[in-house]
Every structure is written in structure tokens, then in C-alpha cells.
Amino acid sequence: EPPMTRTQPHIPWTAATLTLFPDAFPGMLGTSIIGTAEKNRIWGLETVDIRDFSANKHRNVDDTPAGGGPGMVLKPNIAAAAIDSVARNGRPLIYLTPRGAPLTQKRVRELATGSGVIVFCGRFEGLDQRVIEGRQMEEVSIGDFVLAGGEVAAQAMIEACVRLLPGVLGGAESASEESFEDGLLEYPLYTRPREWEGRSIPEVLLSGDHKRIAQWQLDEKIEITKRRRPDLYEAYRAKGDSHERD
């Protein structure tokens, strides 16, 4: 049976993943609000098995690295055949790799407003450089650590996009006040009970004074960002300064 590579035009946002482990999908993308959104046809998922494009009967997809060194490299002709089997439909083609640009909420927001993504999941040492260049792949990393393969990274990236699609988050969850939305990390959260193991909810949150609460939350956001992510705090301050000049 040929691989399923057609996109479904009636679904507004479609992710295609190219992987050597198609059984890993939908994985987490089939559960909870993301899975429900898929059932409601808010988004769609195509999974392409890279091995289906192997040229030989052993279904080999990798070979030893030119110049020596450890591990194996995904062959360019097979990777390109898998990529070319997927209709682009204006979607960016992303190669997940620790070498890529760090994924940010800003990029996630951009991806969520497009028609979807095509995500190539690497394995072994990675993908032959000529495919990355020849197919103009956008190299993206989900963090400064090394996974065994791109599948978990693809699910993380797609999940981050899908939860921003219109109709995915209900009233119980909202993206508007979250970390990164204004360049700051989130303020601390509390719920009942009022006292727990000798710790109380900050008095201001119980005051009912919405102005004071909003000020406290902003102060906490600034404080936590300054302490944990001086890089984000500097960018936030620079943005504020440029607004003041405008």
C-alpha cells in the first residue's frame, strides 16, 4: 500500500511528520485537547514512513559518515524522496536538530497562523547536509540537549502549535496570560486550600482588589524572569525602553 501523503484540504491546519518510527504517532498528539481537536477536524496529521522510500529490499535508509566518525547518516536520496512525496501546501519544511534555531513561542505563534508544518524527524547522527540545503529545510531545535530522535521533538512542536489554533483551548485554559506571551515568565499560581502544610496563599490574591492583584502578578513576573532568565528580562526591558521613546 502506498504511503498516505495526501493533505486534506478541508482541514485548515495539517502537520506532516516524516519518521522512521511511524508507530510513535500520534502519540501524545492523540490525547486530551490536542486529540479532541484532531477528531473535530481543527487540525490533521499525516505520518510518512521514511523507510517506504528505501531503494533496496533490506529497507536500508542510512550509511556510514563520509570522513569517518561514529554512527550512521540518513541517506540524502531516501530523505529527499520522502520529503518530495508530501504536498507542500505553503507549509514550512522543518528539520528538527540540536543544531537548529531554538524554538520560541513567537515562532510557534507564526507556525500556528499558517497552513501547517512538515516536520522531518532525524535519527542516528542526523541527515546528510545536502538534503538540508537542497530542500531548504528550516533547522529547529527544541532545546540544548540531545534526544535519540526527532519524534518527541516533533510532537512537542506540533502540540505547541495546535493548542493555539482557534477552538482548541476552552474556557478552562487560555493562552493569553501564559509564559512568553508578553516576553515574561508566568507568575506563581495558587488554588484552594487557603492553608497547606503551613503555607498560605498570598493575601493580595484573596483581597478581591483586581488592580492590586494585576500589579502583584506583573511584579512577580518581572521578578521571576529577572532571576531565572536574565536574557528574557533584558529583551523585555529593551522593548519597554523603545516603546517609551516612540
By the criterion CB under 6 A, which residues form the site for ligand SAM? 96-99, 121-123, 125-126, 141-143, 145-150, 153
Whether 113 and 10 have beta carbons less than 8 Å apart is answered as no
CB of 78 to ligand SAM, least distance (A): 14
- Which residue has cell 499560581? 189
Whether 91 and 43 have beta carbons less than 8 Å apart is answered as no
Give whichever of 134 and 143 is closer to ligand SAM, judged by the CB atom: 143
CB of 29 to ligand SAM, least distance (A): 16
CB of 111 to ligand SAM, least distance (A): 15
Taking 3-state DSSP, the helix, strand and coil percentages for the chain, each rounded to the nearest 5, stand at: 40, 20, 45
Of all residues in this chain, which one has the CB nearest to ligand SAM in the complex? 122
CB of 73 to ligand SAM, least distance (A): 9
- Residue 196: is it exposed, middle or buried by C-beta count within 10 angstroms (0-12/13-18/19+)? exposed
**164, amino acid identity:** L
The full DSSP string for 80-93 is HHHHHTS--TT--E
CB of 120 to ligand SAM, least distance (A): 7
Angle between helices 210-228 and 230-245 (to 10 degrees): 120
Give whichever of 120 and 233 is closer to ligand SAM, judged by the CB atom: 120
